[in-house]
């Protein structure tokens, strides 16, 4: 890690090691900002959460906020992005998430990484650095994220996949796009009872983002009523 950041990284690392609550890290080629907001909106109804500004997604900036992790916060929610594999590794090692979300992997930032495969490798750093007993939440319908489970399972983590078919662990059924009025759908889940949602956005991508947020919440046993309020 950069020498000028050593003190800050050390302080953030100590704060993270001392924190026993959930730390959610969210990455992906698309949708990570929206998913971050959705997760934060849900979990903040359970207690005070620590998060960072949406433009803060790389290790040096994240460290400034992570250093404050502790009382009175019950959870941390962070968006993670980087310009390189090493940058993602630094952020992942710093956060040591209990919950790692990868929304999807696509061609965004190809110029930085060279190939989609290298982008996927970078995103997978979050999974390789999960806390023992952590949870990986992956897009079942994306060809790259659907194959990432091994990175998490090798460390004993739980893998939860979301999508728009029953092949996933958390999936959307009966999707109805309502135009300016948003989208209505039913969340079916191996983790909890069915949940009817109406979100104020109407793209299919936002359905995926909501599914990822619901998966995080359900693994944390957040009540359905709280999830609906958050979304």
Question: What's the pLDDT score for residue 109?
Answer: 63
pLDDT under 50 in the chain at which residues? Answer: 1-2, 4
pLDDT at 151: 77
Q: What is the pLDDT of residue 3?
A: 52
Kindly list the structural domains of the chain, giving each domain's residue range(s) and its CATH number in brackets, ordered by start: 3-163+204-226 (3.40.1190.10)
What is the 3 state secondary structure string of the chain? CCHHHHHHHHHHHHHHHHCCCCEEEEECCCCHHHHHHHHHHHHCCCCCEEECCCCCCCHHHHHHHHCCCCCCCCEEEEECCCCCHHHHHHHHHHHCCCEEEECCCCCCCHHHHCCHHHHHHHHCHHHHCCCCCCEEEEECCCCCHHHCHHHHHCCCCEEEEEECCCCCCEEEEEEEECHHHCEEEEEEECCCCCEEEEECCCCHHHHHHHHHHHHHHHHCCCCHHHHHHHC
């Amino acid at each position: 890690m950069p020498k000028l950041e050593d003190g800050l990284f050390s302080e953030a690392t100590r704060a993270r090691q001392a924190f026993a609550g959930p730390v959610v890290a969210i990455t992906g080629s698309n949708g990570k900002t929206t998913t971050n907001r959705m997760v934060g909106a849900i979990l903040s109804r359970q207690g005070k959460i620590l998060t960072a500004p949406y433009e803060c997604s790389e290790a040096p900036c994240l460290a400034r906020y992570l250093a404050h992790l502790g009382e009175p916060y019950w959870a941390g929610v962070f968006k993670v992005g980087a310009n390189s594999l090493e940058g993602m590794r630094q952020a992942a090692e710093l956060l040591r998430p209990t919950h790692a979300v990868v929304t999807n992997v696509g061609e965004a930032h190809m110029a930085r990484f060279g190939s989609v495969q290298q982008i996927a490798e970078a995103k997978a750093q979050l999974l390789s650095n999960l806390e023992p007993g952590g949870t990986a939440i992956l897009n079942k319908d994306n060809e790259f994220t659907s194959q990432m489970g091994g990175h998490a399972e090798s460390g004993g983590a739980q893998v939860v996949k979301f999508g728009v078919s029953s092949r996933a662990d958390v999936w959307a059924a009966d999707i109805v796009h309502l135009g300016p009025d948003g989208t209505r759908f039913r969340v079916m889940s191996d983790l909890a009872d069915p949940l009817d949602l109406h979100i104020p956005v109407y793209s299919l991508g936002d359905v995926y983002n909501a599914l990822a947020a619901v998966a995080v919440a359900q693994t944390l046993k957040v009540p359905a009523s709280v999830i609906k309020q958050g979304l």
